[in-house]
């Protein structure tokens, strides 16, 4: 039977016990490609539901843009896991699941008697994935295993802020929450790898992703620079420490980026900006010379680019060498690339008459393309449906709701 039109993970059931950004983004990646993702929320809702921004005309405020952007394609069931009946419902859900993902601090699930060993004893094929600041003791206990962490902590301790910034003395965080998003992507990769292993062995496993580790992996260059050169890298601004020109240049109305670090690309750039003299100039003729004389090189190239608009430079350089203007969101929305690639997606939003826009699916697959098919769920939108699926009668569901065990 052809799977055309289905996501590659169609048939995979994921119990999503995550919150904020790292965990929800990871499970959304799975949902985008067909997994059935069941979001387990407290009866008052996951905390990020209350985080904006909100549309001006949204009087309901069920959730804002933050929650909408990382929880699409999911179902929601609300359980008070401090109550035994709610924990029993969760256990019955995990009995039928392939994956459970959580990003609580270490020990929280164990204290609820819902840790990996408990769930594995009931469902040996279950893949249990955890994203924490400094990992889980099951795979290697960090001295910081109990520390809470957010994106900025991972960026700092994983080395990213130490090499990012305008100058050597000013470390700076990266704008988007890459301390969350990179571990989220690696966690999704780990889950899919574990699913593949489980099809061969029939056994699940524990997938452990530390946010600090993930950021260090993103910054891999700093390790080999220290090992090979005994160098301690520092912020380099918008210039690459090992390649030139490879970075950002001023335009008349903003900035552009280009990479012309090889001799071949350098010759192309010099001809396009009518600076053939730099091809033979001893300060810029070779790759080594260009690195040693970066400041001179960048100044000479900017003598040309700073007098041209981004559009003029795009028409001159675009497609002829690695080049791209520095876009703001309005320019992204106007660029046909992102429209053709379906990277701007419209979804309905409760309480708002118009559709809202969120980022689309970045992984394109020919036979199983994945799809944004539902908005983020309302709190407990699927509670009754999911409880019925695992054998609860309507009378039992009503009784649990009256006790606020569920919502």
Catalytically annotated residues: 180
Phi, psi angle pair for 370, to nearest 5°: 75, 170
The torsion defined by the Cα of 308, 311, 315 and 320, in degrees rounded to 10, comes to 80
Handedness of CA 79, 82, 88, 93 (dihedral sign): positive
C-beta of residue 208 within 8 angstroms of C-beta of residue 223: no
Residue 130, strand partner residues: 102, 208
Distance CA 372, CA 370 (A): 7
How large is the C-alpha radius of gyration of the chain? 25
Exposure on the CB side of residue 66, measured as CA atoms within 13 A: 15
Residue of 215, 401, 235, 252 lying closest to 326 (CA atoms): 252
CB atoms under 10 Å from CB of 61, counted, come to 13
**CA–CA gap between residue 187 and residue 206 (Å, rounded):** 11
CA 212, CA 150: separation in Å to the nearest integer? 10
Count Cβ atoms below 10 Å from residue 407 Cβ, excluding itself.
18
Q: What angle do CA 113, 119, 124 make, to 5 degrees?
A: 160
Residues linked to residue 259 through DSSP beta bridges, in sequence order: 246
Rounded distance between C-alpha atoms, residue 16 and residue 38, angstroms:
6
């Amino acid at each position: 039977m052809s799977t055309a039109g289905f996501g590659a993970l169609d048939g995979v059931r994921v119990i999503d016990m995550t919150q904020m950004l790292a965990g929800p983004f990871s499970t959304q990646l799975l949902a985008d490609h067909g997994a059935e993702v069941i979001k387990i929320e407290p009866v008052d809702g996951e905390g990020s539901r209350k985080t904006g921004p909100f549309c001006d005309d949204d009087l309901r405020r069920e959730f804002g843009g933050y929650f909408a952007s990382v929880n699409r394609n999911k179902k929601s069931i609300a359980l008070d896991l401090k109550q035994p009946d709610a924990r029993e419902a969760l256990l019955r859900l995990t009995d039928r699941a392939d994956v459970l993902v959580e990003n609580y601090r270490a020990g929280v699930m164990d204290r609820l008697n819902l840790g990996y060993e408990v769930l594995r004893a009931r469902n040996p094929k279950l893949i249990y994935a955890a994203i924490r600041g400094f990992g889980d003791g099951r795979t290697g206990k960090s001295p910081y295993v109990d520390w809470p962490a957010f994106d900025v902590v991972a960026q700092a301790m994983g080395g990213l802020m130490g090499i990012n910034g305008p100058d050597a003395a000013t470390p700076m965080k990266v704008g988007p929450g890459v301390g969350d998003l990179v571990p989220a992507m690696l966690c999704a990769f780990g889950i899919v790898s574990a699913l593949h292993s489980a099809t061969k062995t029939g056994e699940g496993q524990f997938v452990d992703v530390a946010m600090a580790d993930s950021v260090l992996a993103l910054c891999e260059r700093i390790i080999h620079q220290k090992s090979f050169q005994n160098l301690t890298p520092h912020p380099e601004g918008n210039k690459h420490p090992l390649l030139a020109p490879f970075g950002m240049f001023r335009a008349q109305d903003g900035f552009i980026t280009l990479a012309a670090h090889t001799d071949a690309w350098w010759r192309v750039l010099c001809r396009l900006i009518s600076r053939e003299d730099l091809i033979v100039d001893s300060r810029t003729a070779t790759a080594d010379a260009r690195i040693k004389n970066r400041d001179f090189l960048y100044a000479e190239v900017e003598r040309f680019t700073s007098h041209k608009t981004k559009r003029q430079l795009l028409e001159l350089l675009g497609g002829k060498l690695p080049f791209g203007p520095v876009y703001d969101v309005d320019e992204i929305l106007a660029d046909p690339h992102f429209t053709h690639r379906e990277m701007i997606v419209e979804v309905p939003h409760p309480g708002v008459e118009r559709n809202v826009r969120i980022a689309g699916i970045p992984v394109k697959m020919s036979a199983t393309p994945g799809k944004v098919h539902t908005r983020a769920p309302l709190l407990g939108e699927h509670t009754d449906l999911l409880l019925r699926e695992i054998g609860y009668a309507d009378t039992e569901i009503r009784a649990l709701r009256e006790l606020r065990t569920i919502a």
